[in-house]
Amino acid sequence: MTNSFEFLPADDRRIRTPKISLAIFLLTASAFFVGTFALHSYSVGLEKAYHEASGRVEKETIGFISHAAQLLPNVAAINDLKEKTQYHNLEMGDKTSVWTKLFNALDAVMPEDSVILAIENPKTGKMSFAATDRQFKIRIALTSIDAANAIYMKLAAIPAIESLNFTPRVEKQHQPQQSLNVDLEFTFNETYATSP
């Protein structure tokens, strides 16, 4: 069996590729290889830059952590300070402390909207006390004359409060409301004070 291709002259049966097609193919292949090489070089450069930046960040992080560790106080010093503070708090805030008993007595009789403005030593007129001082002068801001009378009656009923003097002062504006300042001067006898 024959086909029509066999009847063509030999020159016409040759398959020819134009030279321009070969040139385009070579040019395309060259561009592809050059592009691939360029992309490979670019990705290698990016990877190198990433590793350098990663190493730099890691060094800075380690430096920051070591610097932060140096800023932390000594654990032994903290524990020592904690023990000393706890000791002093127990000494000052013990239930047998004169100050604790005094403030517990005042807390029991003072209205919630009252404020202690000052505590002075009546002997010196200053806010400093010796360990044996039992005389106090306390200035309190109250909301009304009725509150002042009520606190006087309650303090007078406490056995630990002796020689109570009550001196109303002028009315003053404290925060958003009007208040009456009252000076209370007394001797505190902790023997009769009750612990909470």
pLDDT at residue 14 in the model: 62
Residue 8 lies in a domain: no
What are the pLDDT digits (tens) for 64-84?
988 888 888 788 888 888 888
Residue 28 lies in a domain: yes
Is 78 buried (19+), middle (13-18) or exposed (0-12) by CB count in 10 A? exposed
CATH code: domain of residue 151: 3.30.1360
Residue 47 lies in a domain: yes
> pTM higher than 0.85, yes or no?
no
Same domain, 68 and 99: no
What are the pLDDT digits (tens) for 104-127?
888 888 888 888 999 999 999 898
Domain of 102 in residue numbering reads as 94-192
Residue 2 lies in a domain: no
The amino acid that residue 143 corresponds to is: T
The Cα–Cα gap between 81 and 89 comes to 12
* Sign (positive or negative) of CA dihedral 47, 53, 59, 64: negative
Question: What would the mean pLDDT of 73-102 be, rounded to a whole number?
Answer: 76
Same domain, 107 and 176: yes
Domain count within the chain:
2
Same domain, 180 and 101: yes
Same domain, 113 and 60: no
Same domain, 101 and 146: yes
